[in-house]
Amino acid sequence: MVKEFKVGTIFELGRVLLRCTKGSDCTKCYFFDKEISCTVFTSEMVGSCDSAERNDHEQVFFERVGEVCDNSEEDS
């Protein structure tokens, strides 16, 4: 079972930071307009966005809020 993120949670997906945001505006979702159905991404990676399938019964979308910083390289 895929972890379901609570509304407002910011999390990493690869090098991208996403926020689980309350609402139903699919056009603002990070997974909107990918080459395959967004439900494949959400159901297998970040949990469902559909209120009928979520434990909290909230409709959500996954908003990109930034990128993960790589602090492993330090300036000399």
Coil vs helix vs strand at 40? helix
Instruction: Determine the pLDDT at residue 69.
Output: 82
What is the pTM for the complete model shown?
A: 0.81
Q: Is 13:65 a contact under the CB 8 Å cutoff?
A: no
How far is it, in rounded angstroms, from Cα 5 to Cα 8?
A: 8
Per-residue pLDDT tens digits for 19-68: 999 999 889 999 888 767 787 778 788 889 999 999 999 999 999 999 98
Domain boundaries, the chain: 10-66
Q: What is the pLDDT of residue 74?
A: 54
